[in-house]
Homo-oligomer: A and B are copies of this chain.
Amino acid sequence: MAKDTKERILDEALRQFSQKGFDGTNIRELTASLGLVKSSMYKHYKSKEEIWNSLLDRMIAYYNERFGSAENLPPVPDTLDELTAMTMRMVDITVHDERIVMTRKLLSIEQYRDERARQLATKHFLTGLTEMFTYIFDGMMKKGLLRNDDPQMLAFAYTAPISALIHLCDREPEKTADAISQIKAFSEHFVRVYGQENRSE
C-alpha cells in the first residue's frame, strides 16, 4: 500500500509537471489529486526536489530498458510498404500513449533547467530515433530495398520530419489525425525517393 502511493505520487507528478512545469506545480494540488493532504507526501519523499529526481530516474530507467539495448530493436522490414506500416505503428503508439506524451512535454518544458532532462531530451527528440533507423536502413540497404547511401543520413532525413509532426501532436492535439496522415504521406514520399526493387535473392 505504501509503495502504491509512492508510485501514484510519481504518476501525478508527471501529469502536473508536464502541464505546469516543476515550478508551476505545488504539493497541495498534487496530493489533493490523490485524495491526500500535502503533508502526507513527505512520508514518501523528503522534498519536492526528490520527487523530481525520482521521476527523472524512472524516466531514464524506462528509456534505457526500452531503447537501450540492441535486443529490442524492431525487425528490419522486408518490403518498402512494411517500412511505412511499421513506422505508422510506432507513431500511433508514441502519439497516443499518454505517459509517453507527457514525458515529451515534460522534457520540452524542463530541458533548460535540468541537466539530466537536457540529455534525455536529446535522446528522445533526436539521437534515439536516428540510431534506431540507422540500423533499420542499413539492414534494408543490405536487402536491396533502399538505394545504397549513408544509412545514418537517411535515418536522420527520415526521422526528423516525423519527430517534428509528433511534436505538433503534443502541442496541438486537435491536429493529431492530420499530422498522422502527413507522416504517412511523408513516409510514402521517402520510400518513392530512396526505395528500389528488391534485388536480393
Contacts and interface: CB of A to CB of B under 8 A. Distances in A.
Which secondary structure dominates where chain A touches chain B?
Answer: helix
A21 B24 CA distance: 9
Interface string A22-55: 0110000000000000000000000000000000
A67 interface: no
A186 B155 CA distance: 11
Interface string A141-182: 000000000100100110011011101100110000000001
A189 interface: yes
Contacts of A121: 171
A157 to B, nearest CB: 6
A100 interface: no
Interface residues of A, number: 37
A189 B156 CA distance: 11
Contact of A157 (B20, B21, B186): B186
A177 B148 CA distance: 28
A17 to B, nearest CB: 11
Given A21-B24, A122-B172, 17 more contacts: A19-B113, A20-B23, A23-B23, A24-B113, A108-B109, A108-B111, A109-B109, A112-B171, A118-B171, A125-B164, A125-B167, A160-B160, A160-B164, A161-B161, A164-B164, A193-B193, A193-B194
Interface of A: 18-21, 23-24, 105, 108-109, 111-113, 118, 121-122, 125-126, 150, 153, 156-157, 160-161, 163-165, 167-168, 171-172, 182, 185-186, 189-190, 193-194
